[in-house]
Amino acid sequence: MPFGLCNAPATFERMMDTVLRGLKWSICLCYLDDIIVYAPNFQEQNLRLRKVLKCIQEAGLTLNSNKCSFVKKKLTILGHLVDEYGIYPDPQKTAAVTKFPVP
């Protein structure tokens, strides 16, 4: 898809919804090209990851291994830190506000 098209993100998101049909919200979350596969344990994580990768492969898509990370207990996405205990604002994103001088 050419860069610069105003509807490119929506088109890409719709394509990812189709590729991950039946998996999105039950074993993974997807926002554009960010896919999070979640599971309660390592064994289930591997099974779910295989399902997601199979769907991606069957759709003829490829992944850049340099941009992939697997089996993370903590991650930063869309300006938030996510871990097993919850979702928190990314301190790097809130630093400017917290360091702002009090009037």
CA distance linking residue 5 with residue 7, whole number of Å: 6
Tens-digit pLDDT profile for residues 28-40? 999 999 999 999 9
The pTM of this model reads 0.81
Picking from 8-12, 66-70, 99-103, which range would have the lowest pLDDT averaged per residue?
Answer: 99-103
Whether the pLDDT of residue 2 is over 70: the answer is no
Domain-wise residue ranges, the chain: 1-68, 72-102
CA distance linking residue 11 with residue 92, whole number of Å: 31
Tens-digit pLDDT profile for residues 58-87? 999 999 999 999 989 999 999 999 998 999
DSSP-derived letter for residue 24 is B
Whether the pLDDT of residue 1 is over 70: the answer is no
**pLDDT, mean of residues 1-10:** 75
